[in-house]
Amino acid sequence: MDCSDKRGGARKNEETLEWTQKVIDHIKSFPTEESHYGRAKIKDRLYLSPDLNVSRMYRAFLEKHSTEYNGKPPISRQWYHEIFLTKFNLSFSMPRVDTCSTCDALNIRLKSGDASAKVDQELHHRRAEATTEAMSDDNKNAKTSDAYVVSFDLQQQMYLPQLTHTEMYYSQQLACCNLGIHDSTKDQGCMFLWSENYGGRGSTEITSCIYQYLTTQCNPGNKKKLIMWSDNCGGQNKNQYMMAMYLVLIANGVFDEVIHKFPVKGHTFLSCDRDFALIEKRKRKCKAMTIKDLIEIITGAAQKKPFTCTLVEEFHNFKDIAHAFLHTKKLGISQASQLRLTSTEFGSVMVAKGGSAAAAWCDPIKIVKDGVGIDDLKNLELHLSRTKTGVPQKKRADITKMLPYLMPEAWAYFEELLAESAPESNGTTN
């Protein structure tokens, strides 16, 4: 007697094709997003909510189609999983660490028998280790050196409300961004949190939050040298808008020297990553329904030195300053491992292509336009404004469907949020 499972396999009858299509349509119904952290992205890979897994999706599928069959489910979990793997390029947890395209390419060369690949790999790893050692030294000496040391990064996006019923998995939620700033001089994690109806996750939001921190919270005292560490993301951290912000700081005497350092791509582990790990751990235990809940999760994540959390609703626009005063095409910023700006060479940037403390600096490269001096960037009137207004239209319907499942306080929060007019753009931060 054949006792094998007849639900799977390669049956080609109409019923099989019909149920296969239902599985495909069901998987397509879940909201997806691109990776934020993997700079060398896996081609066409999209990411589902980290709250999901195949088992939950399968149970949701059976629940959705429960009236269409009696007794034995027409689709086994194994069959559902096979369709998930073969018909889609999806994953659940977004990759937290940058992938290193150089390491990937070198491994391929090694496997193909390229004799020179071993030498190139050794040089690449030495360069990465030298940069990591320099970062470790900066953090270790932050309290006693003449430099104020800070690292920053965006945490993986968080979503509101955190409901767990089945229908939630098909809905788009409100995205929230958290910029983590770790002050190594004070050994303090400082967070800047905003929801997508106020801003996105681009250079405007990043530079503004860093400027706010450096001018209102860090209190450098006699330390006039600033060392910044961040990953190599050009769109957020490595651009002319960041240079404009540093020039404004120097012009106003907040610092006399700023060095921005970038670890080797794919070998990044910043101090703020440890802070994010604590937040994620607490978030798994505490469900956030509103932005207020997220603030409580963040500030309660670290026991010894609780994180501070600033709720942000408006941002300084350093893009306008950069466009008005800077010309950075000659800088070659994408190849830089370190960038250095000083008051003595105001308006110029020095570049180092190595990340170690002994790396050689190139001659200063002028980045301000002709006729621009320190007085032009001193005491500038920096306006605050929202970079986005309202929740995108296609999310509003999903959020509205969630309201019956919310307690009064959360209901009121989302009712007020939905009362704002939707932005003209159809884009989302997801």
Averaged confidence pLDDT in the chain: 87
CB-based contact 350:246 (threshold 8 Å):
no
Q: In the predicted model, what is the mean pLDDT of residues 235-249?
A: 93
Share of the chain above pLDDT 90, in %: 55
pLDDT tens digits for 169-193? 778 899 999 999 999 999 999 999 9
The pLDDT score that the predictor gives to residue 95 is 46
Q: What confidence category does residue 3 fall into, taking pLDDT thresholds of 50, 70 and 90?
A: very low
pLDDT tens digits for 190-224? 999 999 999 999 999 999 999 999 999 988 888 99
Higher pLDDT, 141 or 422: 141
SS3 string, the chain, reads: CCCCCCCCCCCCCHHHHHHHHHHHHHHHCCCCECCCCCCCCCCCCEECCCCCCHHHHHHHHHHHCHHHCCCCCCCCHHHHHHHHHHHCCEECCCCCCCCCHHHHHHHHHHHCCCCCHHHHHHHHHHHHHHHHHHHHHHHHCCCCCCEEEEEEEECCCEEECCCCCHHHHHCCCEEEEEEEEEECCCCEEEEEEEECCCCCCCHHHHHHHHHHHHHHCCCCCCCCEEEEECCCCCCCCCCHHHHHHHHHHHHCCCCCEEEEECCCCCCCCCHHHHHHHHHHHHHHHCCCCCHHHHHHHHHCCCCCCCCEEEECCCEECHHHHHHHHECCCCCCHHHCCEEEEECCCCCEEEEECCCCCCCCECCCEECECCCCCHHHCCCCCCCEECCCCCCCHHHHHHHHHHHHHCCHHHHHHHHHHHHCCCCCCCCCCC
Q: What confidence category does residue 430 fall into, taking pLDDT thresholds of 50, 70 and 90?
A: very low
pLDDT tens digits for 45-79? 888 887 788 998 999 999 899 889 888 889 999 99
The pLDDT score that the predictor gives to residue 296 is 97
The pLDDT score that the predictor gives to residue 317 is 93
Q: Is the pLDDT of residue 81 over 80?
A: yes
Q: In the predicted model, what is the mean pLDDT of residues 91-99?
A: 60
Q: Where is average pLDDT lowest: 250-254, 284-288, 412-416?
A: 284-288
Q: Which pTM does this prediction carry?
A: 0.77
The pLDDT score that the predictor gives to residue 84 is 96
The pLDDT score that the predictor gives to residue 52 is 84
pLDDT tens digits for 344-372? 999 999 999 887 777 889 999 999 999 99
The pLDDT score that the predictor gives to residue 129 is 82
The pLDDT score that the predictor gives to residue 45 is 83
pLDDT tens digits for 267-311? 778 899 999 999 999 998 898 999 999 999 999 999 889 999 999
The pLDDT score that the predictor gives to residue 428 is 42
The pLDDT score that the predictor gives to residue 429 is 42
Q: Where is average pLDDT lowest: 227-236, 267-276, 355-364, 417-426?
A: 417-426
The pLDDT score that the predictor gives to residue 193 is 98
* Contacts made by residues 361-364, CB under 8 angstroms, sequence distance 24+: none
The pLDDT score that the predictor gives to residue 125 is 80
The pLDDT score that the predictor gives to residue 192 is 98
Q: What confidence category does residue 4 fall into, taking pLDDT thresholds of 50, 70 and 90?
A: very low
